[in-house]
Amino acid sequence: MGGPATSAPLSESSVGDVVVVDPIADRAAMAALPHGHAFSGARALKRARGPAVFVVIDGDDAVGVQLTRFVLADGALRWHAAEGRLDVDELHAPGRSSARPSVEDLLSRLQRDAGEGGQESSLQRLLRFEREDSLLTRLQDAETGLFDGPYATVKLDEEWKRAHRFHQPLSLLLLDLGIAPSLGDAARRAALAEASGVLLNECRDIDVLARFSPDVFLLLLPGTGAEGARVLAERIVASLQARLRGIAAATPVGGLCTVPSAEVRDRKSFVAVAEACLERARRAGTGGVSASWQ
């Protein structure tokens, strides 16, 4: 900066150089830029602490200014065609640096400043939180890796309110593996692990899976109506029967409730109806799923 303009390949530009990208004067020259486009070319030139880069835009182009900032160029030079004038004030803006600090420089500066000030920076706090047990880990059931009962209660309230607010269906499936109480600890842990694998494999990321009690799993299925919930529940029970056959004499059963429903007025009745359906399936003694509309 300060010397006469020179002609040199873009590949030879470095820190301290100034590159003016002018798509208005010579559109054909844009082909020499990375990606062949003014703004994407400017972004590529700014990587790895490259030269100062300015983009020429029309004098009334407000979007161009925003794009210039978005690609991290150093400024926009406005061309006023009616006056035949190029506004180059940003080239001489006081305090403008031709080299923006890299992310590594910023991290080093943060760590240095924190060490000198004796205060924990936001970055250090984030790293410390990552090293500690996460909140989700503390909400997990130790034997299955699924969420625990208290967290399921919170999510049940949350999904219930969301379903009513946006008039969307919500299904609740309660599952009992039907494992005999006399089953040994090792076999019981193996059965729980297999059951967790089935649930995680069959359900979506938005579904809430929890071990609601020692013997009952809770599945919340947002946006899932009665028919879709029934198909999923029957598939899960069938998968559990197949996976647990070699581990324990289990008879998996499920109780299913879907809202909106005329007989379900609040969250408590939502759970109560699902539990009643689960008990009906238990009494049948044949495995399978009992639903609120049956």
Domain ranges within the chain, ordered by starting residue: 10-92, 108-132, 138-291
Residue 182, classified by CB atoms within 10 Å of its CB into exposed (0-12), middle (13-18) or buried (19+), is exposed
251 to 71, 143, 236, 274, 285: CA distances (angstroms): 60, 20, 12, 18, 8
- pLDDT in single tens digits along all 294 residues of the chain: 445 555 556 666 666 678 888 877 666 666 666 666 777 777 777 765 567 888 888 888 877 787 777 777 888 888 888 888 888 877 766 545 545 555 566 666 666 666 655 666 666 666 666 565 565 566 778 788 888 888 889 999 999 999 999 999 999 999 999 887 777 888 888 888 888 999 999 999 899 999 988 889 999 999 999 999 999 999 999 999 888 887 766 789 999 999 998 889 899 999 999 999 999 999 998 888 999 766
Backbone angles phi, psi at 71, to 5 degrees: -85, 5
Give the pLDDT score at 98.
47
Residue 159 has a CB neighbour count (10 Å cut-off) of: 22
For 138-291, the fitting CATH number among 3.40.30.10, 3.30.70.260, 3.30.70.270, 3.40.50.300 is: 3.30.70.270
Residue 235 has a CB neighbour count (10 Å cut-off) of: 13
> Which residues make Cβ contacts (< 8 Å) with residue 129, sequence separation at least 6?
none
Helix, strand, coil shares of the chain, percent, nearest 5, are 45, 15, 35
Give the pLDDT score at 17.
79
Residue 103, classified by CB atoms within 10 Å of its CB into exposed (0-12), middle (13-18) or buried (19+), is exposed
This prediction has a pTM of 0.56
Give the pLDDT score at 221.
96
How is residue 197 written in tokens? 């694998």
Strand 253-259 and strand 288-291: the pairing is: parallel
Residue that is written with structure tokens 């495995």 in the block: 287
CA angle 205, 137, 195 (to 5 degrees): 55
- Give how far the C-alpha of residue 24 lies from the chain's centroid of Cα atoms, to the nearest Å: 40
Q: How far is the C-alpha of 207 from the C-alpha of 221, rounded, in Å?
A: 5
Give the pLDDT score at 114.
60
Residue 129 has a CB neighbour count (10 Å cut-off) of: 11
Give the pLDDT score at 130.
59
